[in-house]
Amino acid sequence: MRGEILSYDEATGTGLISGDDSLRYGFARTAVQGEGAMAAGVRVDFVPEGMEATQIMLLPSATAAAAFGQAAGAAPSASAQPAAGYDIKTALFSFKGRLRRRDFWISWAILVVVGLILNFVPKVSFILGLAVMVLHLAVGFKRFHDMGKPGWLVVIPWALWYASLAMLVSAFGLSVLSDPNAMQSMDPELLVATGGAAFGLMFLAGLVSFGFWMWLGFGGSQPGPNKYGPNPKGE
């Protein structure tokens, strides 16, 4: 397959290739066969293995052009430079790529405001609330990608929270089925006995969720490009 180098970090010896199949592949300098200038815009031939490029060969004409551009002090290709401003479409509506801390907090603030507004439209709040939850997942996915970690980790606090909620509903549901009058007294001891474990799990889920959001919000970006895309800060 052929493609074009999007970025290359001489310090780490890693870079990113945009394949002609519109996918992006990470690569290491050790995978490049032969010598030549490693710069944005260089055309290459490579063998994809998963999302990694191997057996990379620099195409002669592109190599010469890149070397001339470097010697003349040419600016890097624009495709290697991530957008500097906040892009709401990319930040909220995609599970692909990376999201820097600044954009994570902007996205989080937007979704919190939207969630508060939904409280005033109860007829559609449930359906739109599910949509907002998906957007939260998308934001978390890309933030984990920026940290060099798999995006599915963001599902853990959500799964724990809904598991505890399901346990709580099941506990009280079984109690009502066994004794329809049991819950009318609202006896605190009965409430604790019926849903104590579920309440405890919900509290734990809240702590885990808080910890995850702090991790996402303050965790550092992985330097340079990684398998999820170029560094959004251009580093």
**Tens digit of pLDDT for each residue in 65-97?**
444 445 444 444 444 455 468 889 889 999 999
**Tens digit of pLDDT for each residue in 173-192?**
655 555 555 555 555 555 55
Q: What span, in angstroms and rounded, lies between the C-alpha atoms of 3 and 46?
A: 8
pLDDT at 185: 53
Query: 167 and 101 in one domain?
Result: yes
Domain boundary among 80, 96, 119: 80
* Chain centre to alpha carbon of residue 136: 10
Residue with tokens 């346990």: 167
User: Is the pTM higher than 0.75?
Assistant: no
Classify residue 233: in a domain, yes or no.
no
- Mapped onto helix, strand or coil, the DSSP state of residue 46 is strand
Which residue range is the domain that position 165 belongs to?
88-218
Domain boundary among 80, 109, 141: 80
- Sequence-separated (6 or more) residues with CB below 8 Å from residue 132: 111, 114, 115, 118
